[in-house]
Amino acid sequence: MPCTLKPCPFCGSDRLKINETATRAFVECMACKARGPKHESQWESKPFAVHNWNIRKPDGELEKDIAIILENHRLARSFL
Ligand SMILES: [Zn+2]
Calculate how far, in angstroms, residue 76's C-alpha sits from the geometric centre of ligand 1.
35
Ligand 1 center from residue 74 Cα (angstroms): 31
Domain coverage including residue 25 = 16-78
| pLDDT score of 1 | 46
pTM of the model: 0.64
Interatomic CA distance for residues 48 and 67, integer angstroms: 30
pLDDT in tens, 1-51: 456 899 998 899 999 999 988 888 999 999 999 998 887 777 778 888 898
35 is a domain residue: yes
Q: How many domains, the chain?
A: 1
In the reported structure, the alpha carbon of residue 46 is separated from the centroid of ligand 1 by a whole-number distance in angstroms of: 19
Is 74 among the domain residues? yes
Say how many Å lie between the CA of residue 22 and the centre of ligand 1.
25
CA-closest candidate to residue 16, choices 54, 48, 56, 45: 54
